[in-house]
Structure 1
Amino acid sequence: MTASDDTLSTPRDPDPDDPVAPAALVLTAAFEDPLDERRPWLERYELTDALEIPGTDTPVYLTDAGIAVTTTGIGKSDAATTVTALLATPGIDLESAYVVSCGIAGSSPETAALGSVAVADAVVDWDRKHRWDHGSVDDAGELDESTAIGDSTDERPIDLLAYRPRDYVHCLEEALVERALAAAGDVDLLENDDARAYQRTYPEAPDSGPTIERGTTVCGDEFWHGPRYAREVAELCEAYGVGPYVTTQMEDAATARALERFGLRDRYLSVRAVSNYDRPAPGESVTESFDGDPASLALAIDNAARVGRRVVEVLIETDPLGIGAERSA
């Protein structure tokens, strides 16, 4: 039965004696323009219910397709808090649900066209590392600016943590990644002339429309931008053996860690579309290029949802991990 508009605008508290058990949970990061990653999902499906979950920022919307949709908020702390709250709430049962992060991301111009969609096979935590300033210090304790970080060619500015009880990289379930890529291959990606024109301001970017990609996504709370930091990100991925990176975003390492703590990381996927490049084009400042282009942002939001929806629907239909048996029993 379809929920009324009043019910959806006033979400109900979950019932621990009658928990909902969605077949999939979709996590977007933002819901406010111009970064409304949630909109294409709520417009696609008929909404049947809305839950107010303690510890989350927005309601969990339930659809007629068995898909639950909510936003985590931007950044790792928001994502970890939201996902943990969902997993710990008795009124929602995620034991038999596939979990998909879906939204926008950055990328290097050499990697993919704007609007391309990447299915991650590894998630790297950018914030867990050493950052070294190898500049020399004089007798007065002052840094010699001529030897500051970035000027040395023989010493790495970043490195893996010396104390590292685990590698801060999540390698995602291969069977799930392969199934997602097969599903994504059936999707016709949108193109945009204005986004392509902006893409052409980067000589190293491909002269093509959006594509489906696979590879590492890097997650960090720092809004870094520029070629020097991009080199450091690449070096960290290489140190973990999962380079090169394909996308960069701010939530997925936290989501993967929360799911891992609850023994559910095996059903997790990250689907991210390229909204902007992580460095300026020739003649452009980092400040001018940081936000990218409005056309590429809108294109990425729509393509991420198009691919994400197809991936989620295929996972529900085929259930490659066999986790839906308990839900259907």
Structure 2
Amino acid sequence: MPPIRTAATALATLAALPAAAQTAETPIEVRAFVASMFEIGELTGDRAGEFQYWYENHFDGAEPIAVAGAKTPVHCNEDGVCGSVLGMGKVASSASMMAILLDPRFDFSNAYFLLTGVAGTPPSRGTIGMVSWASHLIDYDLGHRWAEDEVPAGEPLFMPRSGYEDIRRYELNPALVEAAMAASADVELADSQEARDYRLRYPDEVAQGAPFIGTGTHMTGDTFFHGPGLSEEAQYMAELYEAADYVITEMEAAAIAQVIDRLHGTDRVLSLRGAVNFDQGHPDETTLEHLDPAPGETAGGFDETLVNIERVGSALLSEITGNWDAWKAGVPAAE
């Protein structure tokens, strides 16, 4: 016959358990979450990918928190800023984001989301080293496309598909974008002689200019599109969806925004991208040559752009975490 468990013995057993086993762990209040898409090697000490400067300046020494279903662990600091590498492309990045959002160890109820990484830009509207806060996110892939020789010359090669109206275009919170632009307005941007020399291959005044901080539409597509024709198509899509001019081509933001929207809405979502390449070749270069450049023909400024992304984003993070009482309830009214 098994021994009878009395209330006294049950209490004695409970008292012997570790404190963590007796009470639920208090979730981490996330004030801001930095999402990067890839890292080249280690998180510090080697050639930097998209997350390394974030890690070194915000999370160095933080205990990694492994999340089931996420590509890499989450790192958090004492200011309530957390970050992770989500993976490249729509599927990898959105899967990681959903796994992290659903982990009960994190409280995202008041969090701001900063989706960051490198990108391409049309030479008519951007340049190497520039940094852009997205006003709109557009999914490049949700629609119908056909070959150029299958329609009359000059007609569009893309048509939206019905049923995707709520997820093919996101207008990000204008007040938040305006606050981000204001917070980062005085950030000094890095540049390099290699990047300056490369820009001169393009005749566009903007392309030849120095890096700057701007805003516009970010086009999300798993297709790494290149060439003037597809660049024009991206601008056509931006106009078709009544968004701002297309300025950035990237692979993740619209998909991640959809994931966040399902659980928290998009009022606190930002996309921050830095341009490391043009979306087309210069006048003396074919699209294929631009996609597969010969040695010495690549654009410079990759590391400088990574520096710029972190500097610009950190200016806003400092504003948010340094004035959390004002930001917790939403974007403070502009002065």
* Interval containing the TM-score (normalised by the shorter chain): 0.7 to 0.9
User: Gaps (5+ residues) in structure 2?
Assistant: 1-22, 42-46, 331-335
String of CA shifts for 1:37-77, please: whole Å, max 9, x gaps.
11101111343321000111111111233211101100010
After TM superposition, give the deviation of residue 16 of structure 1 in Å.
Answer: 6.2
Letter in 2 for 1:202: Y
SS at match of 2:233: helix
Residues 167-178 of structure 1 aligned to structure 2 (within 5 Å): 168-178=168-178
Q: Give the alignment partner of residue 328 of structure 2, picking from 322, 325, 328.
A: 322
Letter in 2 for 1:264: G
Residues 157-306 of structure 1 aligned to structure 2 (within 5 Å): 157-166=157-166, 168-206=168-206, 207-290=208-291, 293=298, 295-306=300-311
Matched, 1:51 2:65: yes
Mapped to 2, the partners of 1:204 and 1:169 lie a distance apart of 28
Matched, 1:117 2:131: yes
Q: Given the superposition, is the C-alpha separation of residues 28 and 285 from structure 1 closer, same or farther in structure 2, using an over 3 Å criterion?
A: same
After TM superposition, give the deviation of residue 290 of structure 1 in Å.
Answer: 2.8
Higher mean displacement: 29-38 or 278-287: 29-38
Could you tell me which residue of structure 2 aligns to residue 75 of structure 1? 89
Mapped to 2, the partners of 1:167 and 1:51 lie a distance apart of 31
Matched, 1:37 2:50: yes
String of CA shifts for 1:247-295, please: whole Å, max 9, x gaps.
1100100111001000232111011111100001122232332378352
String of CA shifts for 1:142-172, please: whole Å, max 9, x gaps.
xxxxx446x612x211122144453610101
Could you tell me which residue of structure 1 aligns to residue 20 of structure 2? none
Could you tell me which residue of structure 2 aligns to residue 27 of structure 1? 35
Higher mean displacement: 312-321 or 209-218: 312-321
Letter in 1 for 2:161: L
Q: Given the superposition, is the C-alpha separation of residues 170 and 284 from structure 1 closer, same or farther in structure 2, using an over 3 Å criterion?
A: same
After TM superposition, give the deviation of residue 199 of structure 1 in Å.
Answer: 0.8
Q: Given the superposition, is the C-alpha separation of residues 133 and 119 from structure 1 closer, same or farther in structure 2, using an over 3 Å criterion?
A: same
Letter in 1 for 2:74: V
Higher mean displacement: 61-70 or 19-28: 61-70
Q: Identity percentage over the alignment?
A: 29
SS at match of 2:26: coil
Mapped to 2, the partners of 1:25 and 1:229 lie a distance apart of 32
String of CA shifts for 1:68-93, please: whole Å, max 9, x gaps.
11011000101110111111111111
Mapped to 1, the partners of 2:302 and 2:35 lie a distance apart of 18
After TM superposition, give the deviation of residue 183 of structure 1 in Å.
Answer: 1.0
Letter in 2 for 1:322: K
SS at match of 1:265: coil
Higher mean displacement: 121-130 or 285-294: 285-294
Which 4+ runs in 1 deviate beyond 6 A? none
> Number of matched residues?
296
Letter in 1 for 2:231: A
TM-score by length of 2: 0.83
Letter in 1 for 2:109: E
After TM superposition, give the deviation of residue 22 of structure 1 in Å.
Answer: 2.3
Mapped to 2, the partners of 1:110 and 1:183 lie a distance apart of 26
Could you tell me which residue of structure 2 aligns to residue 126 of structure 1? 140
Letter in 1 for 2:82: A
User: Gaps (5+ residues) in structure 1?
Assistant: 1-14, 135-146, 325-329
SS at match of 1:113: coil
Q: Is the 8 A contact 2:69 2:96 kept in 1?
A: yes
Q: Give the alignment partner of residue 315 of structure 2, picking from 310, 314, 319.
A: 310
Mapped to 1, the partners of 2:229 and 2:48 lie a distance apart of 26
Could you tell me which residue of structure 1 aligns to residue 104 of structure 2? 90
Could you tell me which residue of structure 1 aligns to residue 26 of structure 2? 18
Q: Is the 8 A contact 1:276 1:291 kept in 2?
A: no
Q: Is the 8 A contact 1:47 1:63 kept in 2?
A: no
After TM superposition, give the deviation of residue 35 of structure 1 in Å.
Answer: 6.4
